[in-house]
Amino acid sequence: MSSHWEDFFASHLPPSDFEDNRTLLKEFCERHNQDNQQIILITSGGTTVPLEHNTVRFVDNFSAGTRGAASAEYFLDHDCVVIFLHRHKSLEPFTRHFTGLQFMDMLELQEDGQNTTITVKPDSVDVVAPILKRYKASHDTGKILYVNFTTLSDYFWLLRAACECLADYGARAILYLAAAVSDFYIPSSEMPTHKMQSEAGAPTISLKLVPKLLAPLVNLWIPQAFVVSFKLETDENLLITKCRDALKKYKHKLVIGNILQTRRNKVVFVSPENSYEISLTREQVLNGMEIESQIVSNVISCHSHFLKTNY
Ligand code: PMT
């Protein structure tokens, strides 16, 4: 059985740094609201479900946060203000281009007596410079706020706090819910305090259904916002139906459907009025185009249309 979202909050404490993050969110939202700007809350990456209070083991999911991190960059390119609510250590905008050893290989080290100089190798300048330029443009103007979560319950607390801080933006706020949020969890009251011991034998773990936050989010927390949810499926035949079901149930504005294996090249936009596919050609993929650039342009035009027709 699914627990009610209010019971979930009542039985899970906020994360230890919750008040600090709430203050950051509040200040960020107030500062940018003065400019009459569009603001985007992006959720990104997967939530964990701990198996013990003193967590050694947890249930996780596949999401690396690519969709959210790439989309954040494109929203910034469109001059939007971005709150990037992401899983700790998942991909982040800009740095996602330089993961692993690849970044080290772009640098050159020169040691001359007391002086050490680090430079970008000439053949890497064309790669680093445009990304660094975009990074500086958004960071120097304070257009992006990073807030991170790890567990499902951190995500619940931070998402609600972010919505409350965004409520004054009304229809200018876009919620872009790309995080892969766990559907199952172990209630706090049923979790052991300490690490489960193998000597006690294999544990039987009973998971409960997580309440969907979209319901209170759309109806109570931020009813005027332009809410975009994502829907991931592995069976192509189910995708559009599931997207339509979500729209009917939560009554938000747009669902973007994707299939696990093809999510980098193809998505489907489903709104109450219509549905259409966005996909990249083989040539576009080879030229380094990312589907998020198309998703973001389309979301921005859907939002502009929403502002014109609803207000
Ligand atoms: O990170 P990547 O590797 O790039 O992958 C991107 C992605 C595949 C994770 C992304 O494109 C995506 O599809 N995200 C949504 C995953 C999903 O199907 O979630 P869901 O069916 O559990 O939930 C649907 C919507 O309800 C989501 O927008 C979610 O934010 C929301 N939800 C989910 C659970 C919950 N308890 N409350 C919610 O509100």
The reply to whether 167 falls in a domain is: yes
The pLDDT tens digits for 270-295 are: 999 999 999 999 999 999 999 999 99
Q: DSSP label at 107?
A: E
Nearest CA among 182, 181, 211, 305 for reference residue 253 = 305
**Alpha-carbon dihedral of residues 69, 32, 225, 46, nearest 10 degrees?**
30
Question: Is 0.90 exceeded by the ipTM?
Answer: yes
3-class DSSP assignment, residue 300: helix
The reply to whether 146 falls in a domain is: yes
Tokens encoding 105: 């290989």
What's the CA gap between 86 and 43, in Å, rounded? 6
User: Which pTM does this prediction carry?
Assistant: 0.96
The reply to whether 124 falls in a domain is: no
The reply to whether 241 falls in a domain is: no
| Structural domains counted in the chain | 1
Instruction: Give nearest CA residue, ligand 1 atom 36.
Output: 212
Domain boundaries, position 161 = 5-94+135-224
Q: φ and ψ at 169, to 5 degrees?
A: -75, -15
Q: Looking at ligand 1, which atom is closest to the CA of residue 215? A: 39
Cβ atoms 225, 244 nearer than 8 A: no
Tokens encoding 256: 């973007």
Q: Looking at ligand 1, which atom is closest to the CA of residue 211? A: 36
The pLDDT tens digits for 165-198 are: 999 999 999 999 999 999 999 998 899 999 999 9
The reply to whether 247 falls in a domain is: no
Pocket of ligand 1 (CB under 6 A): 43, 63-67, 177-181, 183, 210, 212-214, 229-232, 258, 263
Residue 46, domain CATH: 3.40.50.10300
E-state strands within 18-143: 39-44, 49-50, 58-59, 81-87, 107-112, 115-120
Confidence category of residue 2, pLDDT binned at 50, 70, 90: low
